[in-house]
């Protein structure tokens, strides 16, 4: 087949497609969906990417129904609800993070939907000093104590996050249940995925770490002050 014949056939097919209003709508929907798909290749953040995916699915679905193309319609009818659900999840997380930032909430309660709840007995060790960090924890009920410094975690507080940021991801303290507890946990892989999907989450996580380190510095300063005052008192 010559080039002229190929061009003639393509022109005839295009003219035939444009002769029907339904086909015109289908082609416009496919063109818009294709443009959105190309645009999504340049997007670096997850929420806009999901928006583009949803709109692209809608465009290809319209094309598949009107052209018709059953396989394309089925494919994008399947992908559309998946992308909508993921978009809703990202928007909910964004609202939680924004609310936490505006209220200066460092409890990390906005992480709860991504965590798994377990019941722990009194005396059970969650992690030991020197262990590799694999989970971030939120205490829902009970009391968890850090053995080396003899301090406790109050219900509703996140702990175990600092080890994610130190070389080797090693625990600096031992965490033990001082009484029966309900502990929520999320693994490091999930934390990383949430961070990559929503950078605002990373800022809040860093805020938790900064708050913990600040508290540790204050505690050490108080201990040093007491140590210096002890000889004088003696």
- CATH number assigned to the domain comprising residue 155: 2.60.120.10
Task: Look at strands 151-153 and 144-146 and give their pairing.
Answer: antiparallel
- Contact residues for 178 (Cβ-Cβ < 8 A; gap 6+): 122, 142, 143, 144, 145, 152
Say yes or no: 125 and 189 in one domain.
yes
Residue 20 CA to residue 13 CA, distance in Å, equals 12
Number of domains in the chain: 2
Chain length of the chain? 234
> What are the start-end ranges of the H helices in the chain?
3-18, 21-40, 46-66, 70-102, 188-197, 199-233
Residue 131 CA to residue 58 CA, distance in Å, equals 48
Say yes or no: 45 and 88 in one domain.
yes
Residue 40 domain boundaries: 3-102
User: Does residue 86 register a pLDDT over 80?
Assistant: yes
For the range 16-24, what are the long-range contacts, defined as Cβ-Cβ under 8 Å and sequence gap of 24 or more? 22/66, 23/66, 23/67
Say yes or no: 119 and 197 in one domain.
yes
Last residue of a domain, one of 102, 117, 134: 102
User: Does residue 106 register a pLDDT over 60?
Assistant: no
Average pLDDT of the chain is 78
Residues forming beta bridges with residue 184, ordered by sequence position: 117, 138
Sign of CA dihedral 28, 34, 40, 41: negative
**DSSP line for 196-214:** HH-HHHHHHHHHHHHHHHH
Q: What is the mean pLDDT of residues 174-191?
A: 87
Say yes or no: 225 and 134 in one domain.
yes
Say yes or no: 118 and 151 in one domain.
yes
Whether residue 175 contacts residue 145, with contact meaning beta carbons closer than 8 Å, is answered with yes
Say yes or no: 97 and 117 in one domain.
no
User: Does residue 115 register a pLDDT over 90?
Assistant: no
Percent of the chain residues topping a pLDDT of 70: 75
The DSSP element (H or E) to which 126 belongs, if any, is: strand 125-127
**The pLDDT of residue 186:** 84
User: Does residue 187 register a pLDDT over 80?
Assistant: yes
Split at pLDDT 50, 70, 90, the class of 205 is confident
Split at pLDDT 50, 70, 90, the class of 188 is confident
Percent of the chain residues topping a pLDDT of 90: 17
Say yes or no: 119 and 217 in one domain.
yes
Residue-wise pLDDT for 29-82, tens only, equals 888 888 988 888 877 666 788 888 999 999 999 988 988 888 988 999 999 999
Q: pTM for the full model?
A: 0.49
Say yes or no: 44 and 79 in one domain.
yes
Split at pLDDT 50, 70, 90, the class of 19 is low
**The pLDDT of residue 166:** 74
Residue-wise pLDDT for 129-172, tens only, equals 888 888 888 888 899 999 888 888 888 788 887 777 777 788 88
Residue of 157 and 182 predicted with greater confidence: 182
Say yes or no: 188 and 134 in one domain.
yes
Nearest to 107 by CA among 116, 97, 122: 97
Say yes or no: 116 and 200 in one domain.
yes
Residues forming beta bridges with residue 152, ordered by sequence position: 145
Q: What is the mean pLDDT of residues 204-231?
A: 73
């Amino acid at each position: 087949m010559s080039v002229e014949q190929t061009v003639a056939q393509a022109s005839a097919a295009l003219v035939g497609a444009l002769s029907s209003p339904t086909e015109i709508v289908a082609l416009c929907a496919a063109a818009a969906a294709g443009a959105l798909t190309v645009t999504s290749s340049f997007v670096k953040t997850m929420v806009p990417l999901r928006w583009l995916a949803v709109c692209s699915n809608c465009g290809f679905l319209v094309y598949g129904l009107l052209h018709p193309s059953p396989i394309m319609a089925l494919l994008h009818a399947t992908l559309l609800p998946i992308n909508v659900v993921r978009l809703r999840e990202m928007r909910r997380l964004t609202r939680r993070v924004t609310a936490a930032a505006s209220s200066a909430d460092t409890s990390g309660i906005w992480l709860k939907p991504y965590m798994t709840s377990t019941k722990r007995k009194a005396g059970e060790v969650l992690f030991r000093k020197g262990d590799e960090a694999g989970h971030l924890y939120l205490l829902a009920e009970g009391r968890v104590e850090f053995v080396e410094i003899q301090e406790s975690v109050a219900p509703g507080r996140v702990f175990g996050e600092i080890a994610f940021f130190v070389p080797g991801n090693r625990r600096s303290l031992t965490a033990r249940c001082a009484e029966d507890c309900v502990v929520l946990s999320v693994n490091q892989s999930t934390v990383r995925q949430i961070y990559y999907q929503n950078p605002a989450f990373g800022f809040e996580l860093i805020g938790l770490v900064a708050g913990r380190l600040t508290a540790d510095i204050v505690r050490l300063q108080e201990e040093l002050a007491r140590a210096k005052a002890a000889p004088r008192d003696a």
